[in-house]
Structure 1
Amino acid sequence: MAPSLVVPAVQNHRSAAAKTVAEEEVLRRRNEELERELKRSIEREEKMKMELQNTWERLRVAEDAEERLCSQLGELEAEAVDQARAYRERLVMLMEQLSAAQKIIESATVQRS
């Protein structure tokens, strides 16, 4: 009877060893899969960091451009106000000259009559 007890023990040991090897293979494959996924995730993260950096740089350039445009707009507004004042002064002066000329013409017309 003793030999019949030894055989099943060897078979159980071989079965357990095969099961362990199979489980290790499954775990090894799963580990490789997780490592690949981690690598892809790290690559995506790096790509996103670069995109964020590029976006940040574009934003900084846009803000600088906005500041320059606002400054130029302010200068143009000041120039436009100065031109409008000069135009108004010229218009008032021409109106005064025209009024004076009309008075001279009227007085010359009245004297001839």
Structure 2
Amino acid sequence: MAQGMALVGPRHQKSRYSDEEEILRRRNEELEKELKESLEREKKVREEMERTKERLRAVEDAEERLCFQLGEQEAESVYEARAYSVEIRSLKEQLSQARKLIQSATALKDQP
């Protein structure tokens, strides 16, 4: 029995602990490697997000310019439509007066 106890003595405990320590050290190295990779991926994602934000700002600026140009075009279209409407009314009046003149000239011509 004394020999059995000697096996559990400090020498074997140290060996057992060093194996556990080695396992923990390796696991710690793996975790550190995973953390480093994770931080690298996070950095890349942040950089991509910044590039995406910049592209979004550029698109928003372009949209704003296009909306402004569209507003100007709409205003010009309304102005031209009103001008054409006035022109059409004027031409209708001229046509109406011309018809009246033709009718009165025809009526005078038909009178004996």
TM superposition score category, shorter chain reference? 0.7 to 0.9
Match of 1:24 among 18, 21, 24: 21
1:48 maps to what in 2? 45
Q: Which runs of 5+ in 1 are unaligned?
A: none
SS of residue paired to 1:75:
helix
Q: Which runs of 5+ in 2 are unaligned?
A: none
2:89 maps to what in 1? 92
Match of 2:77 among 56, 77, 80: 80
Paired AA for residue 57 in structure 2: R
1:15 maps to what in 2? 12
RMSD of Structure 2 on Structure 1 (CA): 2.1
Paired AA for residue 59 in structure 2: A
How many residues in Structure 1 have an aligned counterpart in Structure 2? 110
- Which 4+ residue blocks in structure 1 deviate beyond 6 angstroms? 4-7
Identity, in percent, stands at 54
Structure 2 length-normalised TM = 0.87
1:36 maps to what in 2? 33
1:84-107 residue CA offsets vs partner (Å, 9 max, x unmatched) = 011101101111110111111011
Structure 1 length-normalised TM = 0.87
Cα separation, 1, equivalents of 2:47 and 2:12: 52
- Tell me by how many angstroms 1:9 deviates: 4.4
**Pair 1:57 & 2:54 matched:** yes
